[in-house]
Amino acid sequence: MTSSSTDTPAPVLVLVPGAAGAPADGSDPFHIADATAPQLSITDLVVTRGDGIFETIGAFDGTPINVGPHLARLARSASLLGLPAPDQEAIAAAVDASIEAHADVPELTIRVMYTRGIEGNGVPTCWIDAHVSDDWAPYRAGIRVATLDRGLATTVFEESPWLLQGAKTLSYAVNMAAVREAKSRGAQDALFVATDGYVLEGPTSTLLVRRGDAYLTTPVSAGVLPGTCVGSLFEALQKEGHEAREQLMSVEDVATSDGAWLLSSTRLAAPITHLDDVELPVDPELTAHFEAILTGRV
Q: Cα(263)–Cα(66) distance, rounded to whole angstroms? A: 14
Residues 6+ apart with CB under 8 A from 17: 23, 27, 28, 29, 30, 126
- Using the minimum distance from each CB to its own copies, give the nearer residue, 104 or 159: 159
SS3 of residue 152 by DSSP: coil
Decide: residue 249, CB within 10 A, 0-12 exposed, 13-18 middle, 19+ buried. Answer: buried
- Using the minimum distance from each CB to its own copies, give the nearer residue, 127 or 234: 127
**Least CB distance from residue 269 to its own copies, whole Å?**
23
- Using the minimum distance from each CB to its own copies, give the nearer residue, 171 or 295: 171
- Using the minimum distance from each CB to its own copies, give the nearer residue, 45 or 233: 45
**Least CB distance from residue 190 to its own copies, whole Å?**
8
Going from the C-alpha of 56 to that of each of 73, 140, 205, 209, 282, the distances in angstroms are 11, 17, 11, 23, 27
**Least CB distance from residue 238 to its own copies, whole Å?**
34
**Least CB distance from residue 5 to its own copies, whole Å?**
14
Is the separation of the CB atoms in 148 and 187 below 8 Å?
no
Query: Would you tell me which residues interact with its own copies (CB under 8 A)?
Result: 13, 35, 37-52, 54, 81-82, 111, 113, 127, 129, 148-153, 156, 159-165, 167, 169-178, 180-181, 195
Q: Cα(195)–Cα(148) distance, rounded to whole angstroms? A: 10
**Least CB distance from residue 226 to its own copies, whole Å?**
18
- Using the minimum distance from each CB to its own copies, give the nearer residue, 203 or 219: 203
Q: Cα(80)–Cα(93) distance, rounded to whole angstroms? A: 24
**Least CB distance from residue 178 to its own copies, whole Å?**
5
SS3 of residue 242 by DSSP: coil
- Using the minimum distance from each CB to its own copies, give the nearer residue, 49 or 245: 49
Size of the chain, expressed as the number of residues it contains? 298
